[in-house]
Amino acid sequence: DSGVTQTPKHLITATGQRVTLRCSPRSGDLSVYWYQQSLDQGLQFLIQYYNGEERAKGNILERFSAQQFPDLHSELNLSSLELGDSALYFCASSVDQGSAYNEQFFGPGTRLTVL
C-alpha cells in the first residue's frame, strides 16, 4: 500500500458523459501527478500539480482538466467521453517538485470504461 488513495476503483459510463476521478496523496506529499495507461499508448503523463498550482502538462486532452485543492487532494475531470478514453488512470504523489527526482508513489488506479 503506497499511501495514495484513488476513488472510485471502477467506473463505467457512456460516451459523451463527464466523470470525476479523485486522488488523495500520501501524507506530507505536495505534488500530485496524473497518468493514463492504455494498451496501445502505455503509461502517459497527463498533468502535475504542486501545492495547489499546475506545474507541468503532458499529453492531456483539452476535454480533460484537473485541480488540486487546499487539502492537497486532486480531481481529474474527463468530459465528452469517447470510447478511446477507456483506460486505467493513475494518480501519483511525491514530496516536492524540485530538480532532483523524488520517488513518485502510485495509487491503485481507477479503471474507466466508456461504452
Partner 1 sequence: EDKVVQSPLSLVVHEGDTVTLNCSYEVTNFRSLLWYKQEKKAPTFLFMLTSSGIEKKSGRLSSILDKKELFSILNITATQTGDSAIYLCAVFLYSGGGADGLTFGKGTHLIIQP
Does 107 contact partner 1 by CB under 8 A? yes
CB of 14 or CB of 100, closer to partner 1:
100
Least separation in angstroms between residue 97's CB and partner 1 is 5
CA 90 to CA 93: how far, in whole Å? 10
Q: Are strands 42-50 and 31-38 parallel, antiparallel or unpaired?
A: antiparallel
Does 25 contact partner 1 by CB under 8 A? no
The site for partner 1, by CB under 8 A, has a size of 29
Does 104 contact partner 1 by CB under 8 A? yes
CA 89 to CA 79: how far, in whole Å? 14
Site string for partner 1, 46-85 (x = CB under 8 A): xxx-x----xx-x---------------------------
CA 45 to CA 56: how far, in whole Å? 10
Burial class (CB in 10 A: 0-12, 13-18, 19+), 57: exposed
Residues that bind partner 1 (CB under 8 A): 2, 4, 31, 33, 35, 42-48, 50, 55-56, 58, 90, 97-101, 103-109
